[in-house]
Amino acid sequence: MSSPHTVRWGILATGGIAQTFTKDLMIDPSTRNVSDIKHTVVAAASSSSADRARKFLEDCKCPSSAAAYGSYEDLVADKNIDIIYVATPHSHHYQNTMLCLQAGKPVLCEKAFTVNAAQAQKLIETAAAQKLFLMEAVWTRFFPLSRAIRTYITSGALGAVHRVIADLSFGEDVESTWGTSHRMVNADLAGGALLDLGIYSLTWCFQTLYATVPRPHRQPPTVASSLSKYAPTGADENTSIILTFPRGPGAPPHPAHGIALTNLRVATDVDGRGTAGPAIRIQGTRGEIQVDGPAYRPTRYRIIHKSVGRGGADRQEGGGEESGPEVEEFECGIPGQGMFWEADECGRCLRDGLVESEGMTHEESLVVMETMDQVRRQNGLVYPEKIETTKYPVRL
């Protein structure tokens, strides 16, 4: 057996998710049955100080040889780095990712990819011109659970999928939890439910209704939406979206609806015990897949088969013969947070000289950003010009 390919990471920013991701990188890949890829962290940078970056590296138990930088500019100049993970707020993704790409570094950039589609387009063009790998860090798409569900749908076993309902809502007292400056609600940081949480509801609609169609036949959905703002900052706190995925050659002949929901004041899981039901329902003519939340880190799903003798048009007088179990339950444990699967994907793409991942293509990141742009346009949600601009460099 050949030795694993080692990926040397640089971490840009030292906040909450940077810690979680980096700790996942440090987990032995064999615990998730991975033997072809290994990860190491060779550097981290904090925009506030090198001391903060040093403490971050220690807290995450990174190798003692890892370099600690007090600026992102110093990080991107480090010749030992294979790829940079950008973990700043949404507002900063465009500027920070452009900095990395222009310094010749491949990038895994946190979601939401950028503030708008125009920025995403520029990053994709820059990566293509430089022949550099670039991916939006939609980690959930790389879970074995997500892959299994997509495979099940493409096999046709669920029949024609007509509707997907996906919700990621938090149920917080917004004022006391986030105030006005926290990145969740701060418009200067492109905060709000849509870009932060709604993107996962959209992810479930897209990965089941868009990514399951052969690539040449994928068509962007039409978008209808409603959004309410959090008065103190103008960021959105309640956003509901209905997507209609057109059908045609290479795809099922009927349009399918994706309903993507997000709300900061009411919760998907109201009692924290799943009593309210699944976060995601994928409804096909032969059955339904129900995925328990949270939508960003699901560990459990079930397939409910529409059996002969039960329900709908297949109902028979006196009940019919049933074939197989009516409900199949799947439990998918995660040996860590689960961010390592997207990191493994980056490693394989770098090893194979790819500039994008089939699991999260540039085109799909762009279509999702365009979808969120439409939702914002339909409801008058605009962020400050300095974070909507495609100008580079801009000091934020």
Please list, in sequence order, all residues whose beta carbon lies within 8 angstroms of the beta carbon of residue 3, skipping any fewer than 6 positions away.
none
- In angstroms, the CA 91 to CA 75 distance is 20
Instruction: Name the residue nearer to ligand LJPVP2WV (CB basis): 17 or 160.
Output: 17
Query: Three-state SS for 275?
Result: coil
17 binds ligand NDP per the rule CB under 6 A: yes
To the nearest whole angstrom, how small is the minimum distance from the Cβ of residue 202 to ligand NDP? 13
Query: What type of residue is 394?
Result: V
- Within residues 271-330, the interface with ligand LJPVP2WV by CB under 6 A covers 296
- In angstroms, the CA 176 to CA 173 distance is 6
Query: Three-state SS for 336?
Result: coil
CA 380 to chain centre: 24
196 binds ligand NDP per the rule CB under 6 A: yes
Instruction: Name the residue nearer to ligand LJPVP2WV (CB basis): 5 or 297.
Output: 297
Instruction: Name the residue nearer to ligand LJPVP2WV (CB basis): 296 or 341.
Output: 296
Q: Which residue is nearest to ligand LJPVP2WV (CB)?
A: 296
The answer to whether the CB of 295 falls within 8 A of the CB of 204 is yes
133 binds ligand NDP per the rule CB under 6 A: no
Tell the residue number behind the tokens 């040449």, with chain if given: 216
Sheet holding 83-86, edge to edge: 67-69, 37-45, 5-12, 83-86, 107-110, 134-137
13 binds ligand NDP per the rule CB under 6 A: yes
Q: Which stretch binds ligand NDP (CB under 6 A): 45-53, 121-129, 222-230, 303-311?
A: 45-53
Q: Which of 22, 88, 97, 240 binds ligand NDP (CB under 6 A)?
A: 88
347 binds ligand NDP per the rule CB under 6 A: no
Instruction: Name the residue nearer to ligand LJPVP2WV (CB basis): 196 or 269.
Output: 196
207 binds ligand NDP per the rule CB under 6 A: no
Looking at 136-292, list the stretches that DSSP marks H as alpha helix, in order from N- to C-terminal side: 144-154, 174-178, 193, 199-209
Query: In Å, what is the CA distance from 362 to each residue of 50, 107, 134, 146, 366?
Result: 33, 12, 8, 19, 6
196 binds ligand LJPVP2WV per the rule CB under 6 A: yes
Query: In Å, what is the CA distance from 367 to each residue of 42, 89, 184, 198, 299?
Result: 34, 21, 23, 15, 27
- Within residues 93-112, the interface with ligand NDP by CB under 6 A covers 110-111
To the nearest whole angstrom, how small is the minimum distance from the Cβ of residue 84 to ligand NDP? 13
Element (H, E) at 127: helix 117-130
Residue 15 interacts with, from ligand NDP, ligand LJPVP2WV, none (CB under 5-8 Å by kind): ligand NDP
To the nearest whole angstrom, how small is the minimum distance from the Cβ of residue 346 to ligand NDP? 14
Q: Which stretch binds ligand NDP (CB under 6 A): 86-94, 237-245, 322-330, 357-365?
A: 86-94
Binding site for ligand LJPVP2WV (CB under 6 A): 196, 296
Binding site for ligand NDP (CB under 6 A): 13-18, 46-48, 52, 87-90, 92, 110-111, 139, 183, 189, 196, 296
